Amino acid sequence: MNSLSFATVKQLREQLKNKTISIEELLDFFINRFAAYDGELGAALEIFDKEWILKNSTLSGPLQGIPGLIKNNIAIEEQLLTCGSRMLKDFRSPYDATVIARLKAQGGAIIGRANLDEFAMGSSTETSYFQKTKNPWDLSRVPGGSSGGSAAAVAAGLVPWALGSDTGGSVRQPAAFCGIVGMKPTYGHVSRYGLVHYASSLDQIGVFSRSVYDSAFIFSLMAGKDEHDSSTLQVKSKDYTQKLDGTLPKGLKIGIVDNTLCAEGMDPEVVLAIENGMKEFEKLGATIHHVTLPAIDYSAAAYFVLSRAEAASNLARFDGVRYGFRNKQASTLRAMYDETRHDGFGAEVKKRIIVGNYVLSSGHSGEFYDNAQKVKRLIRSQFVEAFKEVDVLLMPTHPAPAFKLGAFDLDPLQIDLQDYFTCPMNLAGIPAISIPCGMSKDGMPIGFQIAAPHLAEELMFKVADAYEQATPWQGMHPKGY
């Protein structure tokens, strides 16, 4: 049975089809995995009762009852929707997010809730009100964030797939830190209905998995137009696994973004891993072209401003009146508002709300918010121009392997620099996938990301799959699990 721990969704589907294991045996196995290993890891906030799981899935269809873990900012009917915050610690969702409804209907067994940075604001999964999540490769390091619980659970073999949200890199960065696959789709390709928003113009729901095939498979089941989300595109979903045969498209041109490899703080081991990846792609028949995207140097600053502005707006609804935490000792209505938000939100969330209100305030919005929007448009246009010359872009996911727990407690600005390589894709609204590409000398995973043009997920998956099948990194997993 231990062979199930790090099996892919594709392999588990085959075992269920051949009846070498039953759905209930599979659920029992992974529920027991969480009970045995998650105490020190802290990946899950809650694992559901097996009876509820069985009752709330068709257990048929493509996913056949294979369990997945869901980040706790995506609505699941009847279950707690806390966003890792005291503000929502007792709130239960009255409905399913569209992605949850679609995956349940396709046989997905929703096994539980993943930990996250509070309201998805962070890059380490240390800002959760409930617990800190650790990296299964080294428990003294972070798993990344804000979707660190989802990434850690998949990497440790506690669950074969998971969902997260990606606002500035919150799926891809944890995937790189934990040595798994993490993808964010084109903005509007997956419904955001039922996602508690951090920054609505940047948020997308993405997939964690142990293989590119699995990522493409699960993406296929949840993508497509949704009448509940006006930002979704008029695109019919299809099977994105059909063309995954381990080969690259003929004549593929890959652009390496030069100004990322020489960026400040780049770890030489990450640069070496990417250079080795370029050589592997050339062996597979691709040609490498050097590309410069000057506006990327301003992407973190633009992301900082825009995400805070939208966070301030989105979180204004949490006032203690309609739902969520309320300070009951306040003597006046205004005091109740103030004290509820003071006590209900953690320090990182409050800092972002304050900054957001500042950049939107009269006299400052032109200097900060309007200029950030200009940078966003410039980044988008530079990606469009780059894709006229190359088919996909290759970039680091993060400048270095996973950092130590508490490393940036005294330097909060460093938290925002964690998104330096990932937030440009959110600003441009294009798809990107992070896949493992090496190991550091101290045994930590390294990942790079492949970015593709708008709605070109099929090409993105094909390129990533060819690299994955030609290299040894997919099969790696941490010891002790």
DSSP run (H or E) holding 446: strand 445-451
Tokens 């508690």 belong to residue: 196
Q: How many CA atoms lie within 13 A of 359 on its CB side?
A: 25
Cα dihedral across residues 192, 193, 198, 200: positive or negative: positive
Residues 6+ apart with CB under 8 A from 182: 147, 151, 164, 166, 171, 172, 173, 174, 175, 176, 206, 207, 208, 215, 433, 434
Helix 457-470, helix 212-222: angle, nearest 10: 160
For β-strands 204-209 and 109-114, DSSP reports them as unpaired
Q: Report the alpha-carbon distance of residue 29 to residue 104 in Å, rounded.
A: 20
Q: Given the residues 146, 191, 209, 220, select the one marked as catalytic.
A: 146
DSSP 8-state code for residue 370? I
d(CA 58, CA 321): 37
146 is catalytic: yes
User: 209 an active-site residue?
Assistant: no
> Mind giving me the DSSP string for 155-199?
HTTS-SEEEEEESSSTTHHHHHHHTSEEEE--TTSB--TTB--SS
From the list 98, 74, 184, 99, the residue with the least C-alpha distance to 431 is 184
Decide: helix, strand or coil at residue 9: helix
* Contact assessment for residue 105 and residue 58, using Cβ atoms and an 8 Å cutoff: yes
Q: Report which DSSP code applies to 402.
A: P
**Catalytic member of 57, 71, 191, 462:** 71
Exposure string (b/e) for 21-60, b if CB count within 10 Å is 16 or more?
eebeebbeebbebbeebbeebbbbbbbbeeeebeebbebe
User: What dihedral do alpha carbons 335, 341, 343, 344 form, nearest 10°?
Assistant: 140
- In the set 93, 123, 170, 215, the catalytic residue is 170
Q: Is 71 a catalytic residue?
A: yes
- Taking the CA atoms of residue 116, residue 324, residue 231 and residue 204 in that order, the dihedral angle to the nearest 10 degrees is 0
Adjacency order of strands within the sheet including 204-209: 44-47, 109-114, 67-71, 161-166, 204-209, 181-184, 432-439, 445-451, 392-396, 253-257, 287-291
Active site residues: 71, 146, 170
